[in-house]
A and B are shown apart, each in its own frame.
Chain A
Amino acid sequence: ETGVTQSPTHLIKTRGQQVTLRCSSQSGHNTVSWYQQALGQGPQFIFQYYREEENGRGNFPPRFSGLQFPNYSSELNVNALELDDSALYLCASSLVGLAGNEQFFGPGTRLTVL
């Protein structure tokens, strides 16, 4: 069973640029969530995708957008990067359903905005 994978591992961008982060779900999972973890903080929910549609969003502006593909992999896109976007971006996959269902996390992508 393959776990959640993310690419790239690290990324450096400059302010105003655009970035795409990628995530492959764990086998058998149909839901992908993205979280932003600033240094020294807990992860913050960005959004979740189920059946290729966004089905919930946290307090993030529209320049944060995403996609889910038929094979349940996902992308997170961030436009017009700001310095405060520097963070670890975590992808998590799960089976939609009960609140007790575990979300399995990938290792994250470390984004630095200069």
Chain B
Amino acid sequence: GNSVTQMEGPVTLSEEAFLTINCTYTATGYPSLFWYVQYPGEGLQLLLKATKADDKGSNKGFEATYRKETTSFHLEKGSVQVSDSAVYFCALTIIQGAQKLVFGQGTRLTINP
């Protein structure tokens, strides 16, 4: 089946630290991969995406590279800010009739000043 596994949270870092949130996936076919972010009390916002192997998605200092050989899409940021505190979801999308997103369980990130 299709599934996404994220590193266990919560993750707590100091401001300006380096961030990595691991994400691996299992999928039939060739999925597109996404990172979504959810701020407290809000819905999901797309952070970045990659649609084929070796693509790198980037936005707001965050990056992730679609690695087909390791079935991974790890999220990285070189220097985190307090405003990056949120829950981060890795997801893949497949088309089986419907175009549906399959999400990981989420990783809660807290950045301390």
Contact = CB atoms under 8 A, between A and B. Distances in A.
Interface stretch (A40-48, A69-77, A79-87): A40-48
Interface residues of B, number: 28
B98 A55 contact: yes
B72 to A, nearest CB: 17
A50 B97 CA distance: 10
B44 A90 contact: yes
A99 B51 contact: yes
Given A41-B105, A42-B104, A42-B106, A102 B46 contact: yes
Interface stretch (A11-19, A60-68, A104-112): A104-112
Contacts of A40: 105-106
Interface residues of A, number: 32
A56 B93 contact: no
A45 B42 contact: no
A43 B101 CA distance: 9
Interface string B16-52: 0000000000000001101010000011111001010
Contacts, number: 78
A31 B100 CA distance: 11
B41 to A, nearest CB: 8
B45 A99 contact: no
Contact of B96 (A31, A41, A56, A101): A56
B89 interface: yes
B95 A99 contact: yes
A102 B43 contact: no
B13 interface: no
Interface of B: 4, 31-32, 34, 36, 42-46, 49, 51, 89, 91, 93-106
Interface of A: 4, 31, 33, 35, 40-45, 47-48, 50, 55-58, 90, 92, 94, 96, 98-108
18 contacts: A4-B43, A33-B100, A41-B105, A42-B89, A42-B91, A43-B103, A48-B99, A56-B99, A58-B100, A92-B44, A92-B101, A94-B99, A99-B32, A99-B93, A99-B95, A100-B49, A106-B43, A108-B43
